[in-house]
Structure 1
Amino acid sequence: MGDDGVAERIAGLVAMSSGDGGRDTLIRLTCGRALSLPPLPLREDLLDEPTGEDRVLAAFVEQFAVDVSGIGDNQRARFLEVFGDNAFRVAVTIFIADFVPRVWAGCEAIGLGRPGHGEAAVDVASDPVDALLNGFAPAVAQLRELDPVTTEIVRLRGATQHNCRLCKSLRDGDALDAGGSEDLYGQIERYEAAEGLSEAHKAALRYVDALIWSPSTIPPEVAEGVRNHFSRKQGWELTLDVMRNACNKIAVALGADTPRVAAGTERYSIGEDGQPVYADIA
């Protein structure tokens, strides 16, 4: 979809590995079952008898996919104990297996097909952490089909749904300059009855909720709302924004979502490289 190169980045993410083919299969199958969506392509068969480490991984993956905010301290500690220095890479691999099927389900619902879907060789050598956080996420952040306020409203909805404390504390400067405000953002929680949010905003928020909570059963009227209020390129960017924002699931899962400010909110902007630039904190 489009010529932004992001579909190719998604295909590259799908090809990457946690470093263990058998665990990749377990991660992908568990995500697919939790989401009631087809899993990403499988690399190896599962062992007949799962190990204790496999059971720790499967439980963590399932909770990550269903509701990441439900991962508790004990479950997190067991995951970190099993994977040690490789835990972050494994968590990123879980995120890819969790969210790319959601993107494909959303794109199919709004008539965009399955961008980035196809046969791809397994890529064990490349680092999925770098590809996701320094490749995919900045590329999406640089897209400009949507206006800044809509982009920020979508981001803040994802922040609350995943209960990312850091994301909830941030405010995009471009959106504030374009008319965003705390009064407007305060209406997101009960957006259906909100008078300050436009019908396009509400259509976007319904789509965000569907991708996060029910990606296998996106209501036709939700998909129609996206098609009615947004162009194809805007619908593509909207879908990608939900995935980019949902990278916060990795931080939430690992307990690394502490806000940079003790109270209130912090203004930030997107730099020319697509990475966030934060205000200096005294």
Structure 2
Amino acid sequence: MQDLLNGQLARLVALSPSPYVRVSALVRQACATTLSLPPLPAEARVDDPADATESVLVEFAEQFSADVSAISDDLRGRFLSALGDAAVPAVMLTYFADFLPRVRAGLAALGSPEPWSDAIEWDHDSDPSDVLFNSFLPAVHELRTLDPVTTEVVRLRGAAQHNCRMCKARRESDALEAGGTEALYEQIAWYEISNALTERHKAALRYVDALIWTPAAIAPDVAAGVREHFSEAEAFELTVDVMHNAANKIAVSLAADAVPS
């Protein structure tokens, strides 16, 4: 399964839809600069935004990476107005530009092999939404090396950090059946002093926080904690789970994360 997921990650890196080659290049540069990480390769060479539309695109991508929950109504409105029909594809490409470098940095900190090679055959035809929702996310969901409670604890931490209303409200039934409780989940917010969360949970949560907030400076003790408490396969699943869960940034960025009434 890890080889399959590495293939999925490589496919995301190679996405370069023909109408959005420059959009992809701009957001890859903007996100990487914001994160202080090496950018994903891009098919087009870009320097600065060429016009007002591209300036809004870059501003949106920078805030998407820095703290998606802080995207203002004003910025969102300007982004949707400027990008028009290209807005949703641009958000998808921004998500890839934002999180794939985090995955690469996380696996590097753990001493894992590079998840994709530098040899890229650009994919001009695939729909980013289709690849994300019908290929990558289902493939991550099929991973079963981690226990359900740890998976849910990790998901809920990401939901809180990105302030996704839908994700915070949802509960996974397999985790509940495996012993997850609201009393346990309530302690995620102050996990370092929790007496209910295990050291394994805490090691995972430190890694989640590092991937979300400081991916360019994952502390050695955070990486060591993951290696101590998780097998190599579990650590890989933990890493791609964080990216899977962070797809909620797409909905949050567009204010589409309201809990259905």
Normalised TM-score (structure 2)? 0.97
Aligned CA distance change for structure 1 residues 36 and 176 (closer, same or farther; 3 Å):
same
The amino acid across from 2:14 in the alignment is: A
The amino acid across from 2:122 in the alignment is: V
Contact 1:104 1:113 (8 Å CA) reproduced: no
Deviates more, 1:52-61 or 1:84-93: 84-93
Deviates more, 1:21-30 or 1:134-143: 21-30
Instruction: Find the counterpart in structure 2 of residue 271 from structure 1.
Output: none
Runs of 4+ in 1 over 4 A off after TM superposition: none
Is 1:15–2:14 an aligned residue pair? yes
Distance 1:20 1:178 in 2: 44
Instruction: Find the counterpart in structure 2 of residue 128 from structure 1.
Output: 128
Aligned CA distance change for structure 1 residues 41 and 180 (closer, same or farther; 3 Å):
same
Deviations 1:122-145 (A, max 9, x none): 211101111111111111011000
Contact 1:7 1:115 (8 Å CA) reproduced: yes
Contact 1:16 1:123 (8 Å CA) reproduced: yes
Distance 2:44 2:118 in 1: 18
Instruction: Find the counterpart in structure 2 of residue 279 from structure 1.
Output: none
Q: Identity of paired residues, percent?
A: 52
Deviates more, 1:53-62 or 1:10-19: 10-19
Q: Shift of the alpha carbon at 1:24?
A: 1.6
Q: Which has the higher helix share?
A: 2
Deviations 1:181-223 (A, max 9, x none): 1000000000000000000000000000000000000000000
Q: Shift of the alpha carbon at 1:113?
A: 2.1
List alignment gaps of at least 5 residues for structure 1: 263-282
Deviates more, 1:118-127 or 1:89-98: 118-127
Distance 1:117 1:31 in 2: 20
Count of aligned positions? 260
Aligned CA distance change for structure 1 residues 84 and 195 (closer, same or farther; 3 Å):
same
Instruction: Find the counterpart in structure 2 of residue 274 from structure 1.
Output: none
Deviations 1:67-117 (A, max 9, x none): 000101111111111222221111010000000000000001111122123
Instruction: Find the counterpart in structure 1 of residue 208 from structure 2.
Output: 208
SS in 2 for 1:20: helix
Aligned CA distance change for structure 1 residues 49 and 218 (closer, same or farther; 3 Å):
closer
Q: Shift of the alpha carbon at 1:47?
A: 5.8
Aligned CA distance change for structure 1 residues 76 and 135 (closer, same or farther; 3 Å):
same
Contact 2:107 2:239 (8 Å CA) reproduced: yes
SS in 1 for 2:171: strand
List alignment gaps of at least 5 residues for structure 2: none
Contact 2:148 2:174 (8 Å CA) reproduced: yes
Contact 1:11 1:118 (8 Å CA) reproduced: no
Q: Shift of the alpha carbon at 1:45?
A: 2.0
